Structure 1
Amino acid sequence: MILIGADFVPTKSNKKFFAEGNAEYLLGEELCKMLQKADYRIFNLEIPLTDKETPINKCGPNLIADTNNVKLYEKIEVDLFTLANNHIMDQGEAGYFSTINVLDNVGIDYLGCGNTLSDACKPKIVEVKGKKIGIYSCVEHEFSIASANSAGANPFDVIESYNHVKNLSNACDYTIVLYHGGKEHYRFPSPNLQKYCRNFIEKGANIVICQHSHCIGCEENYKNGKIIYGQGNFLFDDSDDECWKTGLLIQIKDDFEINYIPVVKCANRIRLADEYEKTQILNQFDARSEMIKSEKFVYDNFSIFASQNIYNYLLWLTGVDNNIVFRVINRIFRYKFSEFFIKKKYSKNQMLKIENMTCCESISELFVQGLKDINK
């Protein structure tokens, strides 16, 4: 039996218990027993383990955890960490090398990251109960990506990633894809995410699990496979947002039947959901899963979500979002001031140029490469 959990991150509120290896406090007795019974345990380590801060230039937080926090992972016998995520390089190559050295020292395997791109894209094949299980991990492009000459995470590529999975599935009895992507706090797939995940199934994956959204999403049975659009966190005490308070542990049984085991956040720790909580979580999960059977719903709902967020994204281009006075005014007007400001700031023609710059493959590639060169 294989257990797959999502983001497993020590934070200021509970790093003391990580360093003590206090699994009973952080996870509860029942969950600890369940993990002990598993044949293979997989989680997402979305933080570098290092005792020295060497933060990279990026937008968003630079996460870091002391190396002694590995004691909890060792205590519960994590077998494999995926490192293909948007935070593994937050402390640069020094933080990355510290992380893999720490994991090597305690015998925890990892994938989805490497000293070069060719290393990072390598999958794992493990044997569980006499079956060959292939595991592939990739991440959407942010600030953690490996290159031909530098360490980092394995990027999702619309050509190469599918070739990797096709080759892997031909060599295995069962293939798992761990895809670190999707929009944070959004419980449904975007139209493109749905296409990407379906294509993984068509190339031979049996299950595709989307992590990164920090919320439980929904599932889709597609052809001969299953897609989970959002697993939620495992243990990541970084927000009081309602969606952060629940997660799913995915159980793959010996006959490859899949079960969902809900967990609930309680302050700075988690526990198994009680029967009432479990029913509520899974009923909502099933309801959302019914909704995405309609392609129109997937498109329309994402369009609404995009329209709610676009003005905040456009604010990034102006730099005014860093102005404290603007932020106070925007909050007073319940963030509607963003829309008013952007419509005054950009003409229709300017907005069309931004659309073209981000949509056209050739222009977008040139634009992104230019930004990378400037930000070096």
Structure 2
Amino acid sequence: MTEIQIAAVGDLMVKRYIISDAKQSDGTYSFTPLFAKVTPYLRQADLTIGNLETTFPGNGRECRKSLRSGGPTFKCPDELAPALKEAGFDVLVTANNHCMDYGASGLIRTLRVLDRSGIDHTGTSRSVQESKRTLIKNVSGITIGILSYTAGTNRIPVPIQQPWLVNRIETNKILREIRDLKKKVDLVLLYMHFGKEYQYTPNKRQKQLASLFLKNGANIVLGSHPHVLQPISVQGKKKFVSYSLGNFVSTKLKNNPFTQSGIILTLTIKKDNNGNTSITDINYIPTCVDRRIIKGGKQISEVIPIHDTLKNTDLITERRNRLNRMLKHTIDILKWP
């Protein structure tokens, strides 16, 4: 018998204020403090996965913002990638509505930066050949196939001659890929970038897609894009859905404090001596993004585990009340356990 733990988080939206907090006096960036408080939890899992909702286009001539974007465009200093690796991330999915923010060249460079840091990725590709390769992780003898798709790219067109750059949600194609993958692995995990932003419940389309994929061989469906948490759904010991994992890293969006609320989802996977794989335990660690001033007047951003932070007897009342509101919100939304 083999047992492993998968940890998953939602959107990594490392935006302008968080980037400025990471800037050092010499002009470089250190993102290690951003993840310091949650690193032990991310590292203790056997496989840790998240959604990279930014790009690494660099600062060269090819770093050109896509002018046709239907929303803000995101980019981040390269230093984020090794910090994510150091924090414990093994896999980042890259199919999301911001992956084309800096065009095909920005998308391709992003994957190069992840490769340099030793982080596996899926959802976007640099070539036809790469798009046909499925990410399969062998974790202590349990094989996990990971697929990633997005509903859109903020109205930025993917070049007609390069459709393989981004995995879009095309139902029949996804069903074929699930069925093919099912023959090769113990567990199929889909990370979907779908749903409506700022909605606390999944819409009809999310439910239909998750149900369809589970019926056709997927075991785990993880969601991102709404920027807030949505409920968990469990179907026996083989099927699990988290419709939205919320934001793991973000500034406050739409003046909504819960856009800085997320979880570290933990799934325990067991493979018995007959080769049967099941989900034996589901848990989560509530998190939020905390931005505050420290000694010397420097502003820092941290992703903090809420339960651990509330144990601090020195917390000022206002901060304690905020964290308690975040915690109650998380429990109310997830309805688990």
Displacement after TM superposition at 1:163 (Å): 1.2
What residue in structure 1 maps to residue 150 of structure 2? Answer: 139
Identify if the C-alpha distance between structure 1 residues 221 and 38 changes in structure 2 by more than 3 Å, giving closer, same or farther: closer
Is 2:175 aligned against 1:162? yes
Structure with greater helix share of residues = 1
Displacement after TM superposition at 1:67 (Å): 2.0
Pairs within 5 Å for 1:143-154: 143=155, 146=158, 149-150=161-162, 152-154=165-167
Task: Report the Cα distance in structure 2 between the residues aligned to 1:254 and 1:197, rounded to whole angstroms.
Answer: 20
What residue in structure 2 maps to residue 307 of structure 1? Answer: none
What residue in structure 1 maps to residue 35 of structure 2? Answer: 27
Aligned equivalent of 1:85, options 77, 96, 100: 96
Of 119-128 and 143-152, more deviation after overlay is shown by: 143-152
Structure showing greater relative contact order (alpha-carbon pairs closer than 8 Å, 6 or more residues apart): 2
Pairs within 5 Å for 1:105-120: 105-116=116-127, 119-120=130-131
Pairs within 5 Å for 1:65-80: 65-80=76-91
What residue in structure 2 maps to residue 227 of structure 1? Answer: 241
Mapped contact 2:57–2:110 kept (Cα < 8 A): yes
Pairs within 5 Å for 1:314-353: none
Aligned equivalent of 2:306, options 256, 259, 273: 273
Mapped contact 1:201–1:222 kept (Cα < 8 A): no
What residue in structure 2 maps to residue 365 of structure 1? Answer: none
Describe the SS at the equivalent of 1:113: coil
Count of matched residue positions in the alignment of Structure 1 and Structure 2: 287
Could you report, residue by residue, the CA deviation over 1:174-206 in whole angstroms, capped at 9, with x for unpaired residues? 111100010000111211221111001001111
Amino acid at match of 1:203: N
Higher-Rg member (1/2)? 1
Displacement after TM superposition at 1:230 (Å): 1.2
Task: Report the Cα distance in structure 2 between the residues aligned to 1:260 and 1:171, rounded to whole angstroms.
Answer: 29
Aligned equivalent of 2:215, options 186, 202, 211: 202
Amino acid at match of 1:283: I
Is 2:20 aligned against 1:9? no
Displacement after TM superposition at 1:141 (Å): 2.5
Displacement after TM superposition at 1:73 (Å): 1.5
Task: Report the Cα distance in structure 2 between the residues aligned to 1:241 and 1:249, rounded to whole angstroms.
Answer: 20
What residue in structure 1 maps to residue 53 of structure 2? Answer: 46
Is 2:103 aligned against 1:55? no
Identify if the C-alpha distance between structure 1 residues 10 and 147 changes in structure 2 by more than 3 Å, giving closer, same or farther: same
Identity across matched positions, percent: 22
Task: Report the Cα distance in structure 2 between the residues aligned to 1:279 and 1:61, rounded to whole angstroms.
Answer: 29
Identify if the C-alpha distance between structure 1 residues 97 and 286 changes in structure 2 by more than 3 Å, giving closer, same or farther: closer
Task: Report the Cα distance in structure 2 between the residues aligned to 1:147 and 1:270, rounded to whole angstroms.
Answer: 36
Is 2:197 aligned against 1:184? yes
Describe the SS at the equivalent of 1:104: helix
Displacement after TM superposition at 1:109 (Å): 1.2
Mapped contact 1:121–1:154 kept (Cα < 8 A): no
Identify if the C-alpha distance between structure 1 residues 197 and 144 changes in structure 2 by more than 3 Å, giving closer, same or farther: farther
Aligned equivalent of 2:282, options 258, 265, 282: 258
What residue in structure 1 maps to residue 251 of structure 2? Answer: 237
Mapped contact 2:230–2:334 kept (Cα < 8 A): no
Task: Report the Cα distance in structure 2 between the residues aligned to 1:133 and 1:6, rounded to whole angstroms.
Answer: 19
Structure with greater strand share of residues = 2
Identify if the C-alpha distance between structure 1 residues 36 and 226 changes in structure 2 by more than 3 Å, giving closer, same or farther: closer
Is 2:332 aligned against 1:284? yes
Identify if the C-alpha distance between structure 1 residues 42 and 201 changes in structure 2 by more than 3 Å, giving closer, same or farther: same
Could you report, residue by residue, the CA deviation over 1:238-273 in whole angstroms, capped at 9, with x for unpaired residues? 524132121121112243322222111212332001
Describe the SS at the equivalent of 1:141: coil
Mapped contact 1:111–1:124 kept (Cα < 8 A): yes
What residue in structure 1 maps to residue 317 of structure 2? Answer: none
Mapped contact 2:96–2:150 kept (Cα < 8 A): yes
Displacement after TM superposition at 1:107 (Å): 1.3
Of 200-209 and 75-84, more deviation after overlay is shown by: 75-84
Displacement after TM superposition at 1:33 (Å): 1.3
Task: Report the Cα distance in structure 2 between the residues aligned to 1:106 and 1:279, rounded to whole angstroms.
Answer: 33
Describe the SS at the equivalent of 1:176: strand
Mapped contact 1:11–1:236 kept (Cα < 8 A): yes
Describe the SS at the equivalent of 1:248: strand
Task: Report the Cα distance in structure 2 between the residues aligned to 1:159 and 1:147, rounded to whole angstroms.
Answer: 21
Describe the SS at the equivalent of 1:2: strand
Alpha carbon RMSD of aligned pairs, Å? 2.5
Task: Report the Cα distance in structure 2 between the residues aligned to 1:249 and 1:145, rounded to whole angstroms.
Answer: 33
Amino acid at match of 2:72: P
Mapped contact 1:231–1:248 kept (Cα < 8 A): yes
